[in-house]
Structure 1
Amino acid sequence: MTRNRPIPHIKAEDAAYIRSLLIHEDDKLLAFNKPSGLAVQTAGGRGQSLDFLLWAFAKSNGKRPKLVHRIDSGTSGVLVVARTKPAAAHLSEQFSGRTARKTYTALISGDVPGADSGVIATALKKVPSDRGGREKMIAATDDERGAQSARTAWRILARSGNHAMVEARPETGRMHQIRAHFAIMGCPIIGDRIYGTGKMSAERLMLHAARLEIIHPDGDPLSLSAPLPDDFVAQAKRASLTV
């Protein structure tokens, strides 16, 4: 959708790669199953990112698909982009208005809750990170300067000792919300280098955007889902968790 820009050269193997990640395609939007480690967007356009690879779908006039939301580089799973300006506005409104329903699956370790489900409604605020990131989120009181309200519903899918597989539904869209909330609960996501033990527990962040429910620009409900990656399943099995 970007206008009047020269189309960068995309290697054939890179075009094939981004197309291999497609889980939905129509004339209004594209959806991908993003692997862990692929950045959605990079600062200054440096390095490979999903955003850059979208040039593989550019039209001859230079218009190309547009990002309407993001997930962390370490997070795998569903990501949707718009192919037209009206579609971008329609989808962006759903994300900003919190009507897009996001469901994540995560592997956690530590003080796993005894309850099978619940909601954590702890406000968050940004602070400088001292562990592999420019910023991170910490717990804040609701009236604290910089505090952002945040709610995450969670449900235990499987448990084994101090490990669990959980479903998380963020009701707000704060940076690192799910990651910060589980850390605050005392059971950070396995492989989280900012809020947990990083590579001491897993080679990657064990957080997966499993499902996204939106209203298609044509007006119909659309449910997009991505299966758990092989490395996620393998990590769950090592923790004796039934997938």
Structure 2
Amino acid sequence: MTTTPDIEKTTETPFECHFTLAQEQSLLDALQTHLPDGVTFSNQALKRFCQQGAVWVAEPLKKTDANSDTPKLTRPGRIRRAKKVLPAGSEVSFYYNPTVLSSEIPSPVLIADEQTYSVWYKPKGVLSQGSKWGDHTTLYRWVESEYHFEQPPHQRPCWPIHRLDKATDGLMLLAHNKKTAQQLAQRFERTNAEDEPDEPRQPHIRKIYQAWVKGEFPPDTVTLDAPIDGKAARSHVTRLAYDAERHQSRVEVTIDTGRKHQIRIHLAQAGFPIIGDRLHGDADENAPDLQLTAVRLTLLSENGEMEQDYRLPDALNTLIA
């Protein structure tokens, strides 16, 4: 067994615990057996940690390489069911972080249920993706574990298709089977045949955002295409309004690519940082929350015609009036 070195193993301190099973054993019993010295958890707590995505397991493959002394393992994955019986040779990782595991999130709102996928309003503070420490504060896991759909099936597995920053709120898609997840993901990644190899991808799902930025943005649409982390990136920005008293502009942004923090970086580089962006803009702690919201998702056909159009209801728009 290996654990995070040089830290006191208490339930107030994050730690990692990694071990390999010498014999067949239930996950719950294995966790109880291999907890670091001085750390105790009830069975109920360990079951909850499994549900929250803090426990990962890689199991031996049934078919192994006869010429190798080292058994091949499955790719590590989260195990939700603590009573699952694991075969000998399974590698277990338990990532404990009390801050992560005690976190709570505001409830997302269903915008549209299309059976094989759904459209959601993700509030600020809700994650798009989990980490090794857990995933219970993500949109997809909240829907899987907490939401009851009116139309059957009432509980559904979820696959996230794209991301929104934790500080950004707005519309997100979730697929409810692998086939739909692959189809929707491909729509984001498709490239027009006329594009050059180094040009940004032209998605068949158009994402539109609105934001308040510092300064008077030009009245005409501006295309920002500075590379991000060495990769092509392109954002189209149109001014919707200018508040002379606050010296702030409300803008609408359509993106052709989905680089991390793309809109925030592009607007900051252009001299119009988003209000409340403490990372790329104003570090003032008294500033409001990040004024960036995903307000529209449009699914386009192969020839660019609109198939579905989802818009954020005004009642859910958190941008400053």
TM-score (norm 2): 0.56
1:221: which partner in 2? 307
Taking the aligned partners of 2:234 and 2:306, their CA distance within structure 1 comes to: 27
Counterpart AA for 1:24:
A
Check 1:63–1:200 CA distance in 2 against 1; reply closer, same or farther (3 A cut).
closer
* Equivalences for residues 19-98 of structure 1 within 5 A: 21-44=109-132, 45=134, 48-56=137-145, 64-97=157-190, 98=203
Q: What runs of 5+ residues in structure 2 fail to find an aligned partner?
A: 1-76, 83-103, 191-202
Q: What runs of 5+ residues in structure 1 fail to find an aligned partner?
A: 9-13, 126-146, 237-243
2:200: which partner in 1? none
Contact in 2 for aligned 1:154/1:166 (Cα 8 Å)? yes
Counterpart AA for 1:113:
F
1:104: which partner in 2? 209
Which of 45-54 and 24-33 deviates more? 45-54
Counterpart AA for 1:152:
S
2:235 to 144, 152, 164: 152
2:27: which partner in 1? none
Q: Does 1:165 align with 2:250?
A: yes
SS of the counterpart of 1:103?
Answer: strand
Deviation at 1:123, TM superposition (A): 1.3
Structure with bigger helix share is 1
Taking the aligned partners of 1:30 and 1:210, their CA distance within structure 2 comes to: 15
Contact in 1 for aligned 2:141/2:158 (Cα 8 Å)? no
Q: Does 1:177 align with 2:177?
A: no
Taking the aligned partners of 1:220 and 1:167, their CA distance within structure 2 comes to: 19
SS of the counterpart of 2:208?
Answer: strand
Contact in 1 for aligned 2:218/2:239 (Cα 8 Å)? no
Which of 95-104 and 177-186 deviates more? 95-104
Aligned residues: 200
Deviation at 1:17, TM superposition (A): 3.5
Contact in 2 for aligned 1:40/1:51 (Cα 8 Å)? yes
SS of the counterpart of 2:287?
Answer: coil
Which of 152-161 and 200-209 deviates more? 200-209
RMSD across aligned C-alpha pairs, in angstroms? 3.1
SS of the counterpart of 1:203?
Answer: coil
Deviation at 1:84, TM superposition (A): 1.3
Deviation at 1:124, TM superposition (A): 1.6
Contact in 2 for aligned 1:198/1:205 (Cα 8 Å)? no
Check 1:90–1:230 CA distance in 2 against 1; reply closer, same or farther (3 A cut).
closer
Counterpart AA for 2:226:
T
- Percent identity reads 28
Contact in 2 for aligned 1:36/1:73 (Cα 8 Å)? yes
2:271: which partner in 1? 186
Q: Deviation digits for residues 152-176 of structure 1, max 9, x if unmatched?
A: 1110000023200000001111111
Deviation at 1:227, TM superposition (A): 2.8
Deviation at 1:117, TM superposition (A): 1.7
Contact in 1 for aligned 2:298/2:306 (Cα 8 Å)? no
1:118 to 217, 222, 230: 222
Deviation at 1:195, TM superposition (A): 0.6
Which of 194-203 and 28-37 deviates more? 194-203
The one of the two structures with greater contact order (alpha-carbon pairs below 8 A, sep at least 6) is 1
SS of the counterpart of 2:182?
Answer: helix
Deviation at 1:109, TM superposition (A): 0.6
Deviation at 1:198, TM superposition (A): 4.5
Larger radius of gyration: 2
Taking the aligned partners of 1:43 and 1:228, their CA distance within structure 2 comes to: 32
Deviation at 1:41, TM superposition (A): 2.1
